[in-house]
Amino acid sequence: MMTKKHARWLLALGLAALVAGCSPSLAPATPADEGSALLTVRWPARTRLLPAMAESLRVTVHTARGFQQSRVLNRPAAGGASTVLFDPVPVGALTITAAAYPQPEAGGTAQAAGVTEVTIAANQRADVALTIATTIVRLVIAPATPSLQVGDSLLLTATPVDASGAVVLTPPGTIAWSATGAATVSATGGVLTGVEPGTAQVTAAETESGVASTVTATVSARLVGKIAFLSTRDGNSEIYIMNPDGTDQRRLTNNPANENEISFSPDGRRILFISDRNGPFHIFIMNSDGTDVRQLTNGSRDDWGPIFTPDSTEILFFRTESAGDELYIMNADGTNQRRLTNNTVADVLPSMTPDGQWIIFERMVGNAYDLFRMRRDGSGVQNLTNAPPDDWYHCISPDGTKIVYTEGTHLTTINIDGTGRRQLTFPSGYRDWRPWYSPDGRFIAFASNREGNQYDIYVMDSDGQNPRRLTTSTSLDHYPVWGP
């Protein structure tokens, strides 16, 4: 709503309609059924009353019977007053309109307009006051739905428009900005800066007219680290890396064999993976830029699912034995390999809680996998899930409180003790799988074929909201892991 101070530009102090006789020099005698109207405009300073950019006025008088006359008044170079004579005009009801324009000769889009009526009587004087109000009805803020990350900045613009959508010119510096919530905005520059995850109400106000508009800005947590993933886009399964927003996708391995089951070291400087480049699948390690590839395990058995312990001193993995898959642990250089489980069912994909107290793994129960946990020494085995579909490809949250995993075709979280089950995604006709927490725990990367491709990499908020696609290859992109 326009304020009393700024909502109207007044001509009341300087706009008068005068009938014959009000000024001998400008209003000559007229017939009894006619009069004349003398309009005097006193141009105020550019900071008051009329728009500061107004250079001209178009004044029109007309009657219901079809009489109409218009005059244009250009702003005098030195200010002061302008006059225009409407002579003759018929007696009776007379409508006077005025519109202010930013260019001489009524050029551009009207910045303000007003209308009033006066009764013209023969040989009688009539005074009239006309108020013109802004034609700005709203400010168009761009972008209309601003979105940014914490710490990032975004330039907003606000364009005044009239009811038809035409741009109404205003002087520089007449837009004032304010914001409440998760972002700040520079008062005169419109630079929006994300402060914390959430939303912010951002308002732009045109100070001459008082018209204001508001948009809602969304501030998301900043995406940090790198995402490594597997892709067949170059023919066979290779390891790639990218920024967590999907940019700068780069290939790290280039080998005719197949690379699989990857993970970062806790500091993000190294990547573990398995490869069959030298026979069975064995565990390899390389720098996160793909250099210095070294083999850590060998032998006739396949080794799978390597992942560092939180202190980086050891590596958990599982090995295919004659009776099934079993969990192992070894030093970070591949030495001192020790078996952790020994039973007739498959135990796979181990990982360790950040405090080093629990190993989370997946065990075959009947015809499906369930999530289990046990202490680092192999004691205290507990079943955490007991659902009909497979529960596997899990990831422990960085704070150690939750586990996200693939439950059938969707993603689910539970507390570290198995309580508090919550389904995150609800696929219909597609599959979400292999989730991985971001280093700050705010996001989850996962693979999905929800858009009809084989699989692509996606990122969503840790509560399952706001999924966005990172890869668009027509080949298989999957197994994302997120490192610092």
Residue 332 DSSP symbol: T
The pLDDT tens digits of the residues spanning 150-192 come to 999 999 999 999 999 999 988 888 999 999 999 999 999 999 9
pLDDT at residue 283 tops 60: yes
Q: Is the peptide bond before 398 cis (omega within 30 degrees of 0)?
A: no
Judge if 292 and 143 occupy the same domain.
no
Judge if 321 and 439 occupy the same domain.
yes
CATH of the domain at 447: 2.120.10.30
Q: What is the mean pLDDT of residues 105-127?
A: 83
Q: Which residue has the higher pLDDT, 148 or 5?
A: 148
Q: Tell me the pLDDT band of 83, cut-offs 50, 70 and 90.
A: confident
Give the pLDDT score at 26.
Answer: 38
Which region among 29-33, 35-39, 281-285, 308-312 has the lowest average model confidence (pLDDT)? 29-33
Q: Which residue has the higher pLDDT, 452 or 276?
A: 276
With CA atoms as reference, report the closest residue to 467 among 151, 220, 153: 220
Residue 58 and residue 113 in contact, taking contact as beta carbons nearer than 8 Å:
no
Specify the 3-state DSSP secondary structure of 237: coil
With CA atoms as reference, report the closest residue to 217 among 150, 168, 267: 150
Q: Which of 83, 107, 134 represents a domain boundary (last residue)? A: 134
Judge if 161 and 111 occupy the same domain.
no
What is the DSSP track for 250-284?
EE----SS-EEEEEE-TTSSEEEEEE-TTSS-EEE
CA distance 390 to 408: 5
User: Which residues are CB-neighbours of 298 under 8 A, at least 6 positions away?
Assistant: 278, 282
Identify whether 3 is part of a domain: no
Domain of 128 in residue numbering reads as: 8-134
Judge if 282 and 415 occupy the same domain.
yes
CATH of the domain at 216: 2.60.40.1080
Identify whether 442 is part of a domain: yes
The DSSP H or E segment spanning 387 is: none
Strand partners, 408: none
Domains identified in the chain, total number: 3
Identify whether 190 is part of a domain: yes
Judge if 160 and 81 occupy the same domain.
no
Q: Which of 134, 164, 185 represents a domain boundary (last residue)? A: 134
Identify whether 15 is part of a domain: yes
Specify the 3-state DSSP secondary structure of 51: coil
Identify whether 275 is part of a domain: yes
What is the per-residue burial (b if ≥16 Cβ within 10 Å, else e) of 87-103?
A: ebbbbeebebbbbbbbe
User: Which residues are CB-neighbours of 307 under 8 A, at least 6 positions away?
Assistant: 263, 272, 315, 316, 317, 350, 351, 352
Identify whether 464 is part of a domain: yes
Q: What is the pTM of this model?
A: 0.67
With CA atoms as reference, report the closest residue to 383 among 417, 339, 345: 417
The pLDDT tens digits of the residues spanning 225-277 come to 999 999 999 889 999 999 999 999 999 999 999 999 999 999 999 999 999 99
Tell me phi and psi for residue 60, to 5 degrees.
-130, 135
Residue type, 362: E
Identify whether 194 is part of a domain: yes
Judge if 245 and 378 occupy the same domain.
yes
Give the pLDDT score at 22.
Answer: 32
The pLDDT tens digits of the residues spanning 334-371 come to 999 999 999 889 999 999 999 999 999 999 998 899 99
Q: What is the mean pLDDT of residues 447-456?
A: 92
With CA atoms as reference, report the closest residue to 120 among 178, 227, 34: 34
Specify the 3-state DSSP secondary structure of 102: coil
CA distance 275 to 282: 6
Identify whether 367 is part of a domain: yes
| HSE toward the beta carbon, residue 154, CA cutoff 13 A | 20
Structure token pair of residue 277: 């480049």
Judge if 309 and 347 occupy the same domain.
yes
Residue 129 DSSP symbol: -
Residue 356 DSSP symbol: S
Give the pLDDT score at 219.
Answer: 94
Q: Is the peptide bond before 90 cis (omega within 30 degrees of 0)?
A: no
